Amino acid sequence: MYMYMCTIDLFVCINISIISIIVICFVILKLIMLIVRIVIISGTELSGLQWHEALNQVEKSNGIVLDCRNIYETDVGIFDHAKPLNTTFFRESWAALEENLKNVDKHTPILTYCTGGIRCVKINAFLEQKMGFQNTFRLKGGVIAYHRELKRVQAELKRHPSHSDETQQHRPEDAEDRAFIRLRPRCKSR
């Protein structure tokens, strides 16, 4: 009798463990699907050099550059032609986006940037999934990564002014754009 009871208890414990494992796997799978959906449908990610090229193209194509940072961050400086959302808290971004972009064509190029890159992922996902925009781009790693890349490329240009492969492929032909290749900060104080 005791052996029979132990077998039943063991069987119940194993079943509960299997059910728990299945539930945990299901929750993990749902989280992975959500993360993949957000990352895939959150605009094209641009490096600092690609960002410079995109800024030049946006100026020519009547695109929009959105500063997705809060007011106190925007007060430090913004990229040329950028429109700040003028929010105090991130949760205010959704209403600000809807207000600022209500009459904008859904095919208009929209570039977004923030401090560390996380807010832009969320904002671009909102722009694409909720508002129907189809041409969104975001600065990889935000202003912090941009600044790091700026310093790295400037140091590379000082060491090897004409031998850097990465900067060579982005080197414009006319003299006016040489400042672009030197990666001077495109920020302006407000």
In terms of Cα–Cα distance, which of 108, 106, 86 is closest to 95? 86
pLDDT of residue 57: 85
Range of weakest confidence among 19-28, 163-172, 175-184:
175-184
Higher pLDDT, 146 or 30: 146
AA identity, residue 125? A
pLDDT of residue 188: 55
Active site (annotated) includes residue 6: no
The pLDDT-based confidence of 41 (bands split at 50, 70, 90) is low
Average pLDDT, integer, range 129-150: 91
Radius of gyration of the chain, Cα coordinates, nearest whole angstrom = 24
Q: How far apart are CA 128 and CA 125, in angstroms?
A: 5
Tokens for 16?
């509960």
AA identity, residue 44? T
Higher pLDDT, 18 or 57: 57
The gap between the terminal CA atoms of the chain, to the nearest Å, is 83
| Active-site annotation holder among 6, 25, 68, 114 | 114
Reduce the DSSP state of residue 186 to 3 states and report it. Answer: coil
Give the pTM: 0.66
pLDDT of residue 111: 95
Higher pLDDT, 164 or 63: 63
The pLDDT-based confidence of 184 (bands split at 50, 70, 90) is very low
Average pLDDT, integer, range 169-183: 38
* Sign, Cα dihedral of 146, 149, 151, 154: negative
